[in-house]
Amino acid sequence: MAGLFLWFKNQSSHMTISLHEVVPVPLKEKLLQQASGIWNRDLVFTTPEWIKIKAPSGTGKTTFIHSLYRLRTDFTGEIKWDDRNISTLTAEELAVFRQQKISIVFQDLRLFPHLTAWENIELNRILQTAYCEKERITEMAQILGIDHILQQPAALCSYGEQQRVAIIRALVQPFEWLIMDEPFSHLDKANAGKAAALITAACKERDAGIIITDLHDDDHFDYSRKLVL
Amino acid sequence: MKGLNILLRKLIRTGAGRVRFAMAIVGLSIAMILILSAVQLQSNYNELLRGSGNRDSIANFMVINKILTDQNLKNTTLSDDEINDIKAQPFTDAIGVLHNSRFKASIQSSSAQFPFYTDIAFESVPDSFLDVSTKEWNWEASSGFVPIIVPGMFLDIYNFQFSLSQGLPQLTREVVKMIFFQVNIYDENGVAHSMRGRVVGFSDRISSLLVPQSFMDWANEQYGTAGNKAPSRIIMRTKDPGDPNLISYLKEKNLSTDQDKTRFSRYRQVVDMVVNISGATGLLMLLFAILIFTLFIQLTISSCKEEIKLLLTLGASPKQLSRFLMRQFFPSNIIIITISLAIVCIFQYWASRLLAGQQVHINPYISIETTLTALIILCFIGILNFINIKKYIKINN
């Protein structure tokens, strides 16, 4: 099915995400007392690295993902996408990054409850120049076993189904980095494996990097780096 | 783009403030009709006042003199200062001085079949103020011939009053222009100097017996004795004889002119009042309509706050959303303003037909000013909508 995909990627460029002594303000006191592979350190992630971040409860996992995606800016230090400090991005520039370079699967999924599963995915496909054909949505839904709920409002789908919808939604847009926050938390092992295979294929096709957080160790992906939050 | 708009329409519902939306539409429609009517009424009035071929063109020239009272008997001349002051007024286009003859004169018939004799006096004005154009309007000392212009009204009085009561024949303008008569001018010793004269035209503008300026200058120089050199009457060309400033100026300076010519002043006050009331009401309503419309936009956006927030999180750009929202709100404005303009068009056409029956001719189509006003208001509302949408998207994010 790779033939259905368009090949936009310029092979020679690698997008970087760099962190310089980042510490979230609300968790500052607590975080500075414990050792961390990420907080208050200098790190550079370069595509196509696949990075696993193991994060025990209370270490600020979701805060980290949201800061990385620039949903929140209440941290000290600096996060850069390529050489741009993300705190200085305008709303329009931010939109371009999110449409073209960075895709995300939220822990809390964030689907539009009134739209059908299919519409939720379709929206992200056509928000920019479509990356893949719309038939690809059905194909991926079939692989993940949710093709029968595509026409249901998202609110009526089970959490596990919604999680798979959110994964497919993240894969129908162009990206260089795929950021995922516990993407398989509500999937059984078999389904998690299928989803991981789908994600692997999509990232390989784009030569994209992965940043994934989870509570535990796992072997869903062939990680190039493992960090502890 | 189409698919995205369908999805966005599902997310950002504009049904939240239907009543407000209906109110805004009704308000905007009435406001637009009032404002456009006011502008159109003003253009119609201007057209009537300044249009060429208008039967009221005589109204653009006014002969002005002092009001004669017991106090200013024998002192009705206009000084240079007074004339210059009139010249300096904004309503004055040009001033021409009426020079009066300072010699005695008479005319008499040169035919025994049709005898008449009368003492007369002449006036002259610069040629540009005349409403008669004829090649015969020049004078040379050697020719012994004086062309004369008389008020058309004089011939009317003769034809419809005098000739009937005296059993005399009625005369057309053409016949009168063929009759030569003798003009006598008396020097200071009372000796008559005769020359031939003939009526070469009739003026509906100036009620005076007119001779060419060059003849007047020569005759006054040659035979002038009596009276003051300063003029008593002037003729004014004005863009708008209905200008209330002109009327109040004349009143203040104790000057008078043909009342009929200033009748537009009263019309104008009425037109001004109608235009002002209609325009002010329209503007006020426009303001309220825009306010309601703004509230409607604000309500719609804040009722979809969560959806907009998530759209932006997923990567929708504020520009994309503004463009989508503009497309939801702005077309209704275009439709309202187009319909209002169409209603004013129909009204104008109907009014022009109605007035044509009364010999008042106005353009059956609406003026450029009216169309421009509609366009400007449309642009204004468009820009305002856009700013509002942008602002509320930002606030709600």
Please give the full DSSP string across B243-287, using - where no structure is assigned: -HHHHHHHHHTTEE--GGGGHHHHHHHHHHHHHHHHHHHHHHHHH
pLDDT computed for residue B226 by the predictor: 65
User: Residue ranges of chain B with pLDDT lower than 70?
Assistant: 1, 14-16, 49-59, 226-228, 259-266, 396-397
Question: Which CATH number is A15-228 given?
Answer: 3.40.50.300
Residue from A154, A145, A203 nearest A179 by CA: A203
Which of A91, A123, A127 is opposite residue B318, by nearest beta carbon?
A91
CA distance A6 to chain B (A): 19
Please give the mean pLDDT across all residues of chain A.
90
Higher-scoring residue by pLDDT: B348, A1: B348
Residue B259 is predicted with a pLDDT of 67
- Which residues from A are below 8 Å from B3, CB to CB? 122, 126
| pLDDT for position B227 | 63
- Contacting residues of B for A166, CB less than 8 Å apart: none
Q: What is the pLDDT of residue A3?
A: 39
Q: For A71, name the nearest residue in chain B, comparing CA atoms only.
A: B313
What span, in angstroms and rounded, lies between the C-alpha atoms of A18 and B376? 51
Q: Determine the pLDDT at residue B57.
A: 47
Instruction: Give the pLDDT confidence score for residue B55 in this predicted structure.
Output: 42
What does the alpha-carbon distance between residue B181 and residue B200 come to, in Å, rounded to a whole number?
12
Domain positions in chain A are 15-228
Q: Could you count the other beta carbons within 10 Å of the beta carbon of residue A28? A: 14
* Nearest CA-CA distance, residue B389 and chain A, Å: 15
- pLDDT confidence of residue B52: 46
List pLDDT tens digits, range A70-102.
999 999 999 999 999 999 999 999 999 999 999
List the alpha helices (DSSP H) in B188-262.
Answer: 213-223, 244-252
Query: Please, are residues B106 and B184 in contact by the beta-carbon 8 Å criterion?
Result: yes
Q: What is the pLDDT of residue A1?
A: 41
pLDDT higher than 70, residue A12: no
Indicate the length of chain A as a whole number: 229
Per-residue model confidence (pLDDT) at position B279? 86
Asked if the C-beta of A147 comes within 8 angstroms of chain B's C-beta atoms, the answer is no
Q: Copy the structure tokens of residue A119.
A: 């519409």
Quick check: A199 and A52 in contact, CB under 8 A? no
B397: nearest CA in chain A?
Answer: A91
The residues on B that touch A, with CB distances below 8 Å, are 3-4, 7, 10-11, 307, 310, 312-320, 394, 397
Chain A residue with minimum CA distance to B393: A91
Q: Which of residues 48-67 of A touch B (CB under 8 A)?
A: none
Cross-chain Cβ contact A124/B7 below 8 Å? no
Task: Please name the residue of chain B whose CA is at the shortest distance from the CA of residue A100.
Answer: B315
| Structure-token pair, residue A175 | 């990206």
Q: What's the confidence (pLDDT) of residue B53?
A: 43
Q: What is the pLDDT of residue B378?
A: 93
Residues of A in contact with B320 (CB under 8 A): 95, 127
